[in-house]
Structure 1
Amino acid sequence: MDGMLNSTHSINLGSSGRPLPDNLLAEILSYLPAKTFFRLLSVCKTFRQLSSDSHFLLSQSYHNNVISGFFPNNRNFSGPFCLVDPYAGVPGSSLEFLFRKGKIIGSAGGLVFVLHKTDGALCVYNPVRGTRCQLPSPPSKYCNWSGIAVRFMNDGDGVTKSYRLVFLSRYPVWSMLHRCQVYDSSARVWTMDKELDFGLLELHLEHPVICDDVVFWASSHSFPNERIDQYVVAFDVRKERTQIIPLPKEATVAYSDTIGIGMWEGKSLCLMHYETCTWVIGLWLLRKTNDGPPGWERAHEVSLGQLGFRKPPNVSCVMLREVAMTTSLVFTVEREAYSYDIKDGELKKLGSLGCSTPLLIPYSNTLRPCGEEEELLETT
């Protein structure tokens, strides 16, 4: 598609020489990836006007919410960008600006959230449009132990303009508490600031899963001498209530194992457990029950040995990526990222990463505005 559009000088989108109505044309164009749409701006005045129309920008973000790339990340490093969608793309100048400014702590709906190195301010960026908006106040001083989750709010017509941002930061290792703050983008205020007990273990703050008003985090590695079972934390943003969900008894997690969570077909919470001793990634679905706590059901397993890996893979990150009718398991081995299509069994190498044992922050290539007080980046 991208190559076809590059070679098209005139486009007849109507019949019998009659152009399509502007609203229908805008609806059609809203399905294009951001990179492809920008290449059409020189075609006509209508396309250029759409590039600044907030309803069109939000519609495009609604239709292009699949993962198009990843930011490799650990606590002291961000980048380089790993692109997995050939029709997507982010200008190199915007990426350099983000990495220079601070640490990427999360991304959702095409927006990238960055903690600045100099003053600890939290800013939201749209790198493909080259825009940003600063949030009203720094959320936490514990910048190296923090992450965000974003819940977009439906405004009634399928367009999600406003959002709630859950900023979770871990106090020093001697404390059991996390500081949890909630930001309302429409009111531009932090509506909650509480200390919550999310258990003794650290959480994968970079990989939250959002389902309606509930945010889930999986626990990360415990220390070898600790005898604490791994678990998943559920936080209900609306009720401000937390729940600890134990992992299935059959999924015994050793210190060297890796776990992650994701949404399976947009309906069920999925636990991914990489077992180091067997080289197998097991997938478990969380099932609700009518008269008791939720339970886990084994759904699938992937053997990395059968996929062709010849030595014990050091897997540091596992996550799910859904595109159309396909669900892929994304995982990292050392400095490489891979994708495994669960339906057809195809393994792909996504790219090389800039650091060993990285975590991956997913990114979607959209035109979503950063906020009411959006401004252009000064990348030079």
Structure 2
Amino acid sequence: MKVVVGIPSYNNAETISHVARTAAQGIVDFFDGDGMIVNSDGGSADGTRERFMETDTFGLPKESFVYEGLPGKGSAMRAIMEFAMKQGAEAVVFLDSDLRSVKPWWIERLAGPILKGEADYVTPFYLRHRFDGTITNNVCFPITAVLYGKKVRQPIGGDFGVGRKLLEIYLEKPKEIWNTDVARFGIDIWMTTTAINESGRVVQAALGAKVHDVKDPGKHLKGMFLQVVGTLFELVITYENAWKEVWKIEDVPIYGETPQEEVPPMSIDIENLKKLARETLEEVEYIDRSILSEVKENGTLSLSSWIDTLYRSAVQYRKTRDKRVVENLLPFYFARTVRFAEEVKSLSDEEAEKYVYEQLDVFLEKKRLFKEEWEVENKR
């Protein structure tokens, strides 16, 4: 079998049928119908699985099951990987179950480079609103690029293509990993970082605009932030021998042309974020007083201060392996999100995107001090 499209879900009855039908059309149009659609569900109470199984998939086989293990996206995706291996699939395409912008040709973009032997892992390359993807823009993209040397723009994008070689690598990892936040929202950054470090054959797929259920950073993203950043910090420990030697950032090939599409408008609650930043701020000894004062007084955080805070927190996490280090980072993330929004509010989405890339220079500049502090802590 060429392609298995896996759709992890939890209470997505309103959107999953569209995703499944579109994915099936993609397999029919681009892979001669050589594939199937699989839904791995977290025990939805809104009829998600029933809606999925009722969907017309143009004669393609489909299957829905409730996964085992910790509740979370990662557990759902692991079950899809195991299923795909048993089916002998050459590639797995993962699609978020709340996608409204998915097109049939996305399946070819995400699986094509794998089936052509050009990649083991395909990440999405989206057009996104400048206020969307705040964890990506401020944490995952710059850290992935600067530490591991690959400009993977959407390391936690949700929609991926994975080849058989990487499926084997993922499933051969110790089972204990699936009792961590990798079983939840940590899965995307874990998959991407593992792919970069253990395969290196990564391609980005031009998918155009991503339209999905938009989440406000201050109201919806706390759990995701904790799980993603906690996993990211663990990976910094896992791959420290690799990132210590990386001082150049390479572009990652983009497969296909980016379509010119309209990015839907969105907004975030700036005043709520400022309030949260001030009210949840904890006095932590490993963060400079001047940075704490910056958040207390303004509810915002400059880029330089944010990078110092992020790197210092990673060092502290290495020292303690205490999840409270990640929790203590939340108010700084809120404050940085505010400042970033203020910095790009008068820019176009294209100009804001350019600014996101320009920030990499500052992250890279500060990496040497981060490495020194990391190594000092390692010797203690």
Note whether the superposition's TM-score is higher than 0.5: no
Q: Which has the larger radius of gyration?
A: 1
Q: Which has the higher strand share?
A: 1
Q: Which has the higher helix share?
A: 2
TM-score, normalising length: structure 2: 0.23
TM-score, normalising length: structure 1: 0.23
